Every structure is written in structure tokens, then in C-alpha cells.
Amino acid sequence: MYDVWKPPEQRPLRQLPGLLASSLGLLWESARTEFVLVAILQVVSGAMGGVLLVLVKNLLDAIQASSASQDFGPVLGWLGVLGVLTLLTTFSGSMQWELQRILGEQVDRRAMLRIFEVAGVASLEAFETPDFHNRLERAWISSGSRPTQITQSLLSLMSSLAGVLGVVIALFAVLPVLVPLLLVGSVPVLLLTARGSKALYAFNFGLTPLDRRRMYISRVLTHREHAHEVIAFGLAGFLNARWRDLHDQRLAEMRTLVRQRMWLGALSSLGNTLLFVAPVALVSYLLVNGTMQLPQAVAAATGILLLRPTLQGVIWSATQLYECALFLEDYEQFVRMKDELVAEHGGGPAPASFSTLRLESVTFNYPGVEAPALRNVTLDIGAGQVVALVGENGSGKTTLAKLLCGLYAPLGGRVLWDQTDTAQVKPAALRKSVAVLFQDFCKYLLDVSENIGVGRHERLGDPDSIREAAEHAGAHAFIRDLPEGYRTLLGPEFEGGHNLSIGQWQRMALARAFLRDAPLVILDEPTAALDARAEHELFDSMRTLFAGRTVLLISHRFSSVRSADRIYVLHKGELVEQGTHEQLMQLNGQYADLFTLQAAAYQSNGVAAEAAERNGAVP
């Protein structure tokens, strides 16, 4: 069961070392060469300031000496060194930028891959829980720039601290009282800036659900899958307005945040100013009352002037570090979830086959929904049988199919493969033994053979099996007519992409089920989009096509289920009737009702009824 995650109220700074270590690890794993080069270049360019100062001093000395000796050789020499160093500094600066571009891209790639790893082991239930998507979204956002930023902040914090230390030592010699004054004075400034970071984090955290809804609207407005309805219903204006509404809410929240951060900024500027003015005032006072001499006062003032930018550098990089830690914690939490999710996937191997599949008093509730989608359902499916599941919309048919696939686990009762309780089996192993055609099957914008091959991706390189599956699904004929046959890319939004009709797409999905070659086949409304002939052919040949396999067929077309070995009728999540078509008709219950209702539509027209009867395509 997917557990909703609540962030801790306070993010202790204690997490900072761990986050730093994992960020550095991420950088190291992603692009160690670029990382090392960037770090070296940063250190070198940091040291270059001091070297340049020394060079300028030497140049001035050389100028002084050469004006006496009239020998300009040393001056030219120092000018040359200065020129070469300036060139190197500028070049290393631009190199750093370019390398950082690659570093950023590599870190982004690695971070994304780690997010995909979590998504790859998450349950269907997790994907149906808003909390999972909120966390995913936050991890996504934080993974981009934050790992690089946190290490850069660490590097600049270290260099600023080194700068502060130098000046502090010098100041201590001149006027020791200035040191505690400046250091203690910077603490409130640091706290105020950190509060601003926390407010920014809280803003992003709180707005994730709203932002996700807004992003959904943008997708509806801009993606092909919705374009036909958006254009046909003239929805662009309506959706635009909805997007603006959601964005207005974001803007309102952002205004509150900005106001808060402006206040915090004003207070910390005040603190910064006091931090500068108070020591200068102290030095002036000591100078005026004669406690301090002019050279000492000049040295102290220079120290204060030098300390100001380095101290601000420390405050800035420390808060950047804190801010990154807040955001990265979301990413780390999400990535760590992989271990929990994999642990949930424990269990033994799946049985290779079965003689009876049994649902025993199975109850299932969707997360957050009180009414059970399945209530106390007990049914048997014998090996080699074609078993049908019917019932009105929302009666629980698809839910039951997903339980059989191991996509959901029952909350009560058991799903048994003979004596094996599937709760004790690794879900992935169980799924290998099931071929399923979902009611809302996927349309992969890949080429035709990949669209079929993903049914058993290990067989992607086996064109004969793919072709055979396509033939069984009645797809081979139209695939042959495609511009590049099985190599035709599907999806008109890609260059050279080709679109299919919905029925052709459904045949692709059916071909996947054939290719999967598993003992249990679940077909959830497999012919909803197929033409009458294709539907008739499929049901006519189902026993031959799926010979040796067990088929669970879910359908609203009663003509297609009447020949099933056993029919189960679900109503509001409960199993209300079961038997063969003849037994259920005799029972005169819900099945008979629904069957008669559907048949009446055909029987009201004598000609259609006669034709249908002849073809066996309708009841």
C-alpha cells in the first residue's frame, strides 16, 4: 500500500552534511572529469586575484627601477607575464562556463535516471495517488540545478570563509573588539536570509498541487491527444481562462511571498548596514577621543571594508547552501523511496502454470474511496477455459482484471493460483504469466514492430513472432500497406510518423497480447473499436488462437460472451450471478435482463435480426 509522505515541519541543518555528500556523489557519478576540471579551474581563478596583485606590485617595482636604469627589459618581461596570466584567467573563465554546461547536463541526466528508477518500481496504486505525483514533481524540479548549485555554494562558502579568516586575523591585531562585533552582528542577518529561503521552499511545496493542475491544462491545450476535442468544442478560450485562474492564484501566493521576502530583505539590509556603520563609528569615536592613532584607524577601516564583501559572500553562500538543502531533501526522499518500493516487492517465484485460478472472498478499495470496488468476490477460472465477466459500467470488472494481473493487491481475501497465494509471489514474476489487453490500452509512438514487440520486449528482435502476432490480431494486412511496413513510425507528430485508426490501434494492442504468450490472457473490451467482421472473426477463432491458454474476457457485447465456458456477472462490486449462457438465461436475472435488452435492439428490425442470426455476430 502506498503511504502518503509528510515533510517534517523543521528541516534540521543536521541533514546538510548528508545532502552535500549525496550531491557530491551525484556530481562524481555523473561527470567526474568535468567536475574535477571545474573545481580546479575555480580554485585557480580564485587564487589568480592574489597572483595578479603580486604581479602588479612587481611591475610597479620594475617601472621604478627601470626609470633609474633606463633598462625597460624587466618591465616588458612583467608586462608579458601579466598579459599571459590575464589571457589564461579570461580563457579559464569561459572554459569553466562551457564545462559547467556539460556538467549540468550530465547531472540532470543522472538525476532523471534515478527518478525513472523509482518510477520503474512504483506500484499502479502509487501512480493513482496525488501525493506520489506531488513528490515526483518536486523531485523533478529539485533535481535540475540544485545538486550543482549546492556544491558551488559549498566551494564559494569555503573561499569566502578563507577570505574572512585572513581579514579577521589582520583585524584582530589592529582592534580585537571588532572581530566579535562583526561576527556576532552577522548572525541575525544570516538567520533573516535563511528565513527567506524557507519561505521560498514553503511556497513551492504548497503550490505543487496547483502547479500540477495548471500544467495539466497546458498539456490539454498543447498536445495532439486533446487537440481534436479542444478545436471541435472550441475549448481554447475556456481552458485559457482556467489556466489564467490557476496562474492568478500562483501570482497571489507569489506576491505574498515576495512581500515577506522584501521585508526580510529590508531587515537584513538594515543589519548589513549596521554591521558596516557600527564598526566605522566605533573606530571614528576611538580616533576622536585619542584612544586610537591614525595609522591604526586606517588599517582598521581597510579591514572593515575588506571584510564586508567577504562576509556577505559567506552569508550568501551559506543561505544558498541551506536553500539547496531544503529542495534537495525532496529529491533525496523521493529517490530513497526506491528501496522501500523494492522491499515491498518481495516474494517467491510465480507458478509456471495453474489448473485453477481462484478469487477467494476478495475485497478491494481504491485509496481514499470508502465504497469497495470489489466486495467479497469468490470465483474460479479453470485452465484452458474461456471465462467471461460482464456487468454494468463501474461494476468492478477492470478492477478484478487488475487484481488478477497483480497490479493491485486485495485488501481482503486471496487470489490463488492453485495452492499458491499470489500475495506470496513477486508481482513482477506473476505479471510475466499474464497477457493483458487493457480497455484503455496504450498507443506507443514507436514503430509498428516495437508497438507489438513491447508485449514481450525480449522478442523485439524476432520479426517472425511479431508478424505471427499481428496476423492473429488481424493487423498484418494493414501493416503491410503502411509506407514502411513493420518499420513505420506511428504518431503523426513525428517526422515520417503515421497515424492509425482507433480500431487499428486496438489490433496492435491485441497483437501485443498474442506475442506475450502467457498462460493467462485477460481481454478487457478487446473489440470495443473493432468492426463487426473483425469482432466476429476474433470471437469465432478465439479458442483456436488462444489454444492451451486461459482467457478471461470482459465485454459488454453479449453476443461475444454467450459461448464462454462460464459467465460471471458483477454488480456494484459483488458477484451476483454465474453459470453458462443457458443457465443464466433460465435464471432470468440481471444477465438475462441485459442480454434481452441488447438483443431487442436487433430483434426490433427483422432483417437485421435475421442477418445477425445468420452471421452469429449478435444475440
When asked if residue 115 is in the footprint of ligand ATP (CB under 6 A), the reply is no
CA neighbor of 220 nearest in space, from 196, 245, 198, 239:
239
d(CA 279, CA 285): 10
Residue nearest to Mg ion (CB): 398
The pattern of x and - marking residues 439 through 478 that bind Mg ion according to CB under 5 A reads x---------------------------------------
Partners of 420 in the β-ladder: 417
CA neighbor of 428 nearest in space, from 401, 449, 403, 407:
407
**Residues touching ligand ATP: how many (CB under 6 A)?**
13
Within 13 Å and on the Cβ side, how many CA atoms surround 569? 22
The partner in contact with residue 463, picked from ligand ATP, Mg ion, none with C-beta cut-offs of 5 to 8 angstroms by kind, is none
Question: By CB under 5 A, which span of 1-9, 431-439, 444-452, 493-501 interacts with Mg ion?
Answer: 431-439
527's grid cell? 473489440
Between residues 112 and 119, which has the closer beta carbon with respect to ligand ATP? 119
When asked if residue 268 is in the footprint of ligand ATP (CB under 6 A), the reply is no
**Residues touching Mg ion: how many (CB under 5 A)?**
3
Between residues 70 and 393, which has the closer beta carbon with respect to ligand ATP? 393
d(CA 518, CA 126): 26
Question: By CB under 5 A, which span of 412-420, 434-442, 453-461, 594-602 interacts with Mg ion?
Answer: 434-442
From 11, 46, 85, 128, residue interacting with ligand ATP (rule: CB under 6 A): 128
Minimum distance from residue 494 beta carbon to Mg ion (Å): 30
Helix or strand or coil: residue 214?
helix
Answer for the pair 253, 199: CB distance below 8 angstroms, yes or no.
no
Between residues 309 and 367, which has the closer beta carbon with respect to ligand ATP? 367
Left, alpha or beta for 438 (phi > 0: left; psi -120 to 50: alpha)?
beta
Phi, psi (5° rounding) for residue 390?
-125, 165
When asked if residue 399 is in the footprint of ligand ATP (CB under 6 A), the reply is yes
Minimum distance from residue 435 beta carbon to Mg ion (Å): 17
For ligand ATP, the binding residues in 375-394 under the rule CB under 6 A are 391, 393-394
d(CA 143, CA 116): 12
Q: How many helices (H) and strands (E) does the chain have?
A: 19, 10
Question: By CB under 5 A, which span of 144-152, 336-344, 395-403, 509-517 interacts with Mg ion?
Answer: 395-403
Between residues 197 and 506, which has the closer beta carbon with respect to Mg ion? 506
When asked if residue 369 is in the footprint of ligand ATP (CB under 6 A), the reply is yes
d(CA 426, CA 342): 10
Minimum distance from residue 555 beta carbon to Mg ion (Å): 10
Cell 443457458 -> residue: 582
User: Letter for the amino acid at 387?
Assistant: V
d(CA 106, CA 112): 10
Between residues 286 and 409, which has the closer beta carbon with respect to ligand ATP? 409
Answer for the pair 62, 74: CB distance below 8 angstroms, yes or no.
yes
When asked if residue 439 is in the footprint of ligand ATP (CB under 6 A), the reply is yes
Residues near Mg ion (CB under 5 A) are 397-398, 439
Residues near ligand ATP (CB under 6 A) are 128, 366, 369, 373, 391, 393-399, 439
